[in-house]
Structure 1
Amino acid sequence: MSEYVLQSRNLTKIYKTEFALNRVNMSVKKGAIYGFLGQNGAGKSTLFRIVTGLAFPTDGSIELFGKREEQLCEARKRIGSSIESPALFPHMTASENLETHRLLKGIPGKACIDKTLALVGLQDTGSKKAKNFSLGMKQRLGLAIALLGDPELLILDEPTNGLEPMGVVEMRELLKKLNREQGITIVISSHILSEVHLLATHYGFIHQGKLLEQLSTNELNKVCQHYLHIKVNDVGMAAIVIEEKLATSEFEVMPDGAIKLYQFLDNPGKVSMALTAAGLIIEQFMPMGEDLEAYFTKRIAGERNE
């Protein structure tokens, strides 16, 4: 069995003369929460539409659960999705919406309706029509529709878009619960990087149809790691002081002579006092590091300059 639930190979989509996707090679591991990050118009929704069979690629291919080509239709039955905006019937209740989608998907039995409504917190909406739902309730109903049939892969396009802060937190916790308790692999697109950073286990950065990079949370934390940037007049002596007086080896000496110290971020005074006590002259001393948004911005800038 493949360790990947979704892979694309040189996936390309051209509209007229514009590349919506340009040779995208994407890999999503089973059990991951994959944050698919990019600005509006970067190609996120286009890729989702191809994966779910709503659009066809100009070139390249996709693989779902290890299945390709003629087997894709069967593999897509294992996917739940909400792309661009939830497909709701505004004059129906939450229960009626799910019943309609259950019939469209050919899912046997009505037991799944109450179970799914309870899962997303809409079990008490009664006869209230979807048109009268708040935006957060509509997003939850869209998620409920995507969850019908117990999918193994959940594809969500901007599920927190327009939600108030509490609604964003509730959606995040619900997705974590689905991933943790039901083992659902989730691919979530967003342009709100700070929110995805609290949820995802893996990341893919897309810009103007090109997949710039894929990395795990551990890999991201390494490249975005915060540290104390230190420059002194004698880097060798500084290294000895840090090892012996501060009792840590969590530092690096860079080629330009700067030191990256990954501890004492909450107590930089202790570091400066130890260095000064050893007779060293501190030339530069400051906390540094990047968050996800800063790292993504730098990657886009690098792409533009190539």
Structure 2
Amino acid sequence: MILINNVTKKFGTNIILENINLKLQEGNIYGFVGKNGSGKTILFKMIAGFMAPTNGEIKVYNKIIGKDVDFPTSCGIIIESPGFINNLSGYKNLKLLSDINKTISEDEIRKYMNFFGLDPYDKKKVKNYSLGMKQKLGLIQALMEDPKILILDEPMNALEEETVIKVRELLKKIKKEKIILLSSHNKEDIDLLCDRIYHVKDRHINICNESAE
């Protein structure tokens, strides 16, 4: 469970989010909609431990982010442009990441790459990847270790329709034991996937609906 308790985020005198309270539970896909700059990405970064709230606290599975732990455990993240080592291939990038926790085999990495239409044996360096290929690689690194939490900020960017459909089906399939946070400017993604939708506007987060079904 993720508990967001009276969280405010300021930059100088500029208040981005104010007194946010949310309870996010397993088995749900939560959609966050709003204009660019409304605070969606800031919220995601605070939950991921990339940024600290000005006031309030965020608890992930009873651990306060920034106090009990620096980052939530078992969390897959794609926020903004995925960062990889440009002079390595896609497979080598994923292998390096997998070596940190050692929870996924080389065969499993290859299966994920094949699922997303990337050739694990391709020697092409990531710096020569298209935007769509980089986005696929970012999704693989977020998903491949089967995390309890997925934080997906505009995950469908630059993806062809065939891959978008596959990602939607995958998220529906795996959501049962996960907390999935999703932001997208594509209304269809939000409507088809999300159990609960929040509107981020004027420093506040308000619920739009209980279910997209």
Letter in 1 for 2:137: L
Q: Which runs of 4+ in 1 moved over 6 A?
A: none
Rg (Cα) greater in structure: 1
Match of residue 95 from structure 1: 91
Contact 1:107 1:149 in 2 (8 A): no
Matched, 1:196 2:173: no
Task: String of CA shifts for 1:82-129, please: whole Å, max 9, x gaps.
Answer: 1111112232211111122224x4435643533443454435552222
Task: String of CA shifts for 1:13-51, please: whole Å, max 9, x gaps.
Answer: 100111121111122120111111111111011111111
Query: SS in structure 2 opposite 1:161?
Result: coil
Contact 2:2 2:59 in 1 (8 A): yes
Gap runs ≥5 in structure 1: 222-306
Question: Does 199-208 or 170-179 show the bigger shift?
Answer: 170-179
Matched, 1:83 2:79: yes
Matched, 1:71 2:61: no
Equivalent residues, number: 211
CA distance in 2 between partners of 1:95 and 1:8 (Å): 36
Return the offset for 1:191: 2.5
Counterparts of 1:48-59 in structure 2 under 5 Å? 48-59=44-55
Return the offset for 1:66: 2.9
Contact 2:30 2:198 in 1 (8 A): yes
**Percent identity, aligned pairs only?**
35
CA distance in 1 between partners of 2:102 and 2:13 (Å): 41
Match of residue 129 from structure 1: 125
Q: Which has the higher helix share?
A: 1
Q: Please, which of 162, 174, 196 is the counterpart of residue 178 of structure 1?
A: 174
CA distance in 2 between partners of 1:121 and 1:65 (Å): 34
Query: SS in structure 1 opposite 2:192?
Result: coil
Match of residue 102 from structure 2: 107
Letter in 1 for 2:47: V
Question: In the superposition, relative to structure 1, how do residues 98 and 212 fare at CA in structure 2: closer, same or farther (>3 Å)?
Answer: same
CA distance in 2 between partners of 1:139 and 1:179 (Å): 21
Matched, 1:216 2:213: no
TM norm structure 1: 0.62
CA distance in 1 between partners of 2:140 and 2:161 (Å): 20
Contact 2:90 2:120 in 1 (8 A): no
Question: In the superposition, relative to structure 1, how do residues 214 and 28 fare at CA in structure 2: closer, same or farther (>3 Å)?
Answer: farther
- Name the structure, 1 or 2, with higher relative contact order (CA <8 Å, separation 6+): 2
CA distance in 1 between partners of 2:110 and 2:9 (Å): 39
